[in-house]
Structure 1
Amino acid sequence: MKKILVTIITLIAIIQISFGQENLEIVAELDKRPGNVAVGNKGRVFVTLHPLGSSKMQLIEITGKSSYKPYPNKKIQNVTNAPNDSKFDTPLGIVVDKDNWIWVIDMGLNLGKTRLFAFDIATGKQVFRYNLSKKIAPKGSFIQDLAVDKENGWVYLADIANPGIIAINIKNNTARRLTHKSVEAENVDMIIKGKKIHFGGKPARVAINPITLSADNETLFYGAMNGTTWYKLPTKLFREGRNDYSISKQIKVVGPKPVSDGATIDLNGNHYFTNPQNFGIDILTNNGELKPLLRNKKIDFPDNVRFGPNGWLYIAVNQLYKTPAFTGNKDLGKAPYYIFRTKVY
């Protein structure tokens, strides 16, 4: 009997390790709801504060397990939420490029204007700004994730409210929008703790959300939040100025994905997805196998994932389904909210 118990305990330990419970490190415990996380090439951690929460800051840098400061400075933070074109409005998606610039997509939900910013992390200086036109990003757009190819001079955005991919040529400051059935939500429910999640008063059907690029920037990957299919298309088609029909013909299915809010990819072509239904992170391997990477009840609605130095995968966790936009009533979220990291390679 003793040997059987030891065997069972050993098996449980192996399962826990394989599901990542022994490989989850707390980077920050926050009193405010995080949106997305991104990490500089020297390990500095940056977080947007989610527009569906409430805060007098919009972009912060983590300075300790329970401390942070406004980034790049206090002046650009909007403490009143009153529309002001010289300040942040409702930023959400952030990503750091190879030159250690942090790119921020500000949805402008109060301002009525979507703006793309970039800051040099080392100096905090704004090095790029682009205002999206009303034609490309009409009022009511919810452009909340991005992928950056600075080498070729392109940024790709995901709009969940007017489902589409927005491609910005940052060399000549032009933009275009691509619509296709693959960017639309599938008829798939999000179920957390046995409860069907609603958004805007009806079962959630959120369109294109996670979007990311291959390491060589030649392939754009994307999928709907309420969707189980991961797509790809060649980015050279945008650079060549191909029309929507030509691009649509080249859209292919990569493989399955979970219902997910965020995604990223490693240098070996493995895809990592947030999995809010199962409190974890999934991996779609480069040979097409979708499997769990992490399972932990503290991963209570993982919003996005980004790689940092030395093979660390960072995860922003924010209990988003407990906000009024989902509950239809009051905010049921309770601090602390987390930034985690896990060693992937």
Structure 2
Amino acid sequence: METTISDVAGRAGVSKSTVSLVLNGRPGVSQETRELVLRAAAELGYSTRRVASSSPATRTLLLICQRYPGRSLDVLGHVYSAYIAGVRQACSAHGCDLVVLPVSAQMVDNGRSAADLMLNAVRADGALLLGLRSPDDRLLSLVRELDIPFVALGRHWSSADFSCIGIDDREALVAVVNYLVTLGHREIALVGETLVQTFMWHRLRVQGFQEGLARLGMGEKVDRIVLAATPEEGVAETLSRWPQTSAIIGIYDIWAQGVVRALKARGLSVPDDVSVVGFDNINGLGLDGGEFQTELTSVDPRQPDAGRLGVEMLLRCVEEREVAHIQTTLRWQLVQRSSSAPIARLQRGSG
């Protein structure tokens, strides 16, 4: 007898609607429950492929979304949703079936895991990957075992030996630094997050910050980087070490919004006292759910476009029946909003 979604729900001890949320990559489910459902589905050999819409000529693409522990990373679901929207649009246009598979980074790192079993349970023609931490992420090893073409979304690493599409994070941060300097800012700091500091995209953005300052003859300030467990701690350390700071770059938008809140809690105005810039363009995606109280100047990495073009790249590889290495760089855009402005305040005293 074929395994059903009811069987998975029964094994996991959750409702059918919860199973549906997990298997379709939707938010609103805790990491613990998500892993429980994936494990149950793997043990039962349940496949999320939609048999009713499949035919011999129909391509099935697998979208693997790697998620991480920690509340600050859960909010990256906003960004994932933008990529997924682009992928769904392209799959619909090409008549492809799409299987969305969320996996836990912890499960992936453990090797033979429920995530591994689920990957092998789905007979897909190709895979799209979201959430790679580096060019040697353990998830890549699991996907390569499937022996199907795959494309990494939102990543562009020149050292990668696989297909990927995304913006150049380093050059984007160089441009952010240049933008702030043109506004008159000279005391600029970058606030990053300790939890993700080893991830390649985080390292590239840090490098871009340093390179941007160096290119403008401000090499003596390239050490103005604070890695913290929370935005509040990052702001506190930044202002303690460099009281004259007039602009702060948050390593990504959710983090930058935390920087804005921390500055306001200290009685500082954004952007009159301190300008703030982020990365991801969450405001522009319309996915913040009203959480953001500040219209944030931010780098737009064009997530929906990456999703659509990633599908095009993958289908090309599938049709040619080879695992090609195609690297595509998207042109990012810096979207200026009310969180940044020309420097127009008296410098705070160093005391």
Using the size of structure 2 for normalisation, the TM-score is 0.25
Bigger-Rg structure (1/2) = 2
Higher relative contact order (CA 8 A, sep 6+): 2
Structure with a larger share of its residues in strand: 1
Using the size of structure 1 for normalisation, the TM-score is 0.25
